[in-house]
């Protein structure tokens, strides 16, 4: 069942406003996801990755549980059906994966940052735990896609790393000239035969790394 288009108008408007306020311009290379719900996999550079992607297409983001406790942000995160994961407790992974499957079944793209944290120097190791949903998607017979995306920024002050304070980074972005967030849509991964979660994770990592370095 596809997600109602009107349910995504407010989030995309919000994301676009945030990008405008912090002087981030989005440049898209490659073909954006179509109507078929996708598992979107991308490297993670900054908190601005989220509005950059969310302004383009209906999306639910997989985020660390700490985000659910941040003032203001936690309220909007819940409104857009963010899927929270406790990265310190592996026993919560099956429930998180079930929530990802449910979102895709509703026609919403689910965005996964498999590095589990941000990096300033390109893609790092992709953790494969949440790629287990690929096996369930194969069994469902549902049409879907796996869409790798590489994210690059045009300025060295763009990354927001680890536990950096958010407000100083926001002020830095607002004080400096506009920067570009480039979203490079790699060729989707087509499952012509069953693949393990590790194989899919490695395939996404290879495509994203190649696009990032190109």
How many C-beta atoms lie closer than 10 Å to residue 144's C-beta?
22
**3-state SS, residue 133:** helix
52-61, 65-74, 205-214 — most confident range: 205-214
pLDDT score of 113 more than 80 = yes
Find the angle CA(170)-CA(173)-CA(177) to the nearest 5 degrees: 160
pLDDT score of 1 more than 50 = no
pLDDT score of 2 more than 50 = no
Find the angle CA(177)-CA(183)-CA(185) to the nearest 5 degrees: 165
Cβ-contact 149, 183 below 8 angstroms: yes
Residue 71 Cα to chain centre, angstroms: 21
Query: What are the sequence ranges of the domains in the chain?
Result: 5-213
Q: Domain 5-213, what architecture?
A: 3-Layer(aba) Sandwich (3.40)
Q: How far apart are CA 29 and CA 24, in angstroms?
A: 16
């Amino acid at each position: 069942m596809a997600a109602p288009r009107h349910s995504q108008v407010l989030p995309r408007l919000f994301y676009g406003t945030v990008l405008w306020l912090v002087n981030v311009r989005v440049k898209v290379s490659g073909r954006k996801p179509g109507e078929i719900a996708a598992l979107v996999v991308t490297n993670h550079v900054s908190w601005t990755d989220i509005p950059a992607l969310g302004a383009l297409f209906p999306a639910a983001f997989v985020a660390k549980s700490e985000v659910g406790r941040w003032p203001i942000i936690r309220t909007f995160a819940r409104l857009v059906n963010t899927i929270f994961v406790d990265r310190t407790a592996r026993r919560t992974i099956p429930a998180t994966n079930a929530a990802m499957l449910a979102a895709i079944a509703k026609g919403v793209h689910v965005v996964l940052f498999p590095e589990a944290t941000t990096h300033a120097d390109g893609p790092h190791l992709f953790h494969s735990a949440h790629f287990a949903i690929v096996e369930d998607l194969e069994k469902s017979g549902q049409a879907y896609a796996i869409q790798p995306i590489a994210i690059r920024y045009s300025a060295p002050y763009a990354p927001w790393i680890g536990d950096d304070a958010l407000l100083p980074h926001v002020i830095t972005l607002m004080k400096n000239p506009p920067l570009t967030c480039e979203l490079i849509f790699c060729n989707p991964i087509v499952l012509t035969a069953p693949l393990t979660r590790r194989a899919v994770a490695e395939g996404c990592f290879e495509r994203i790394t190649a696009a990032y370095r190109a």
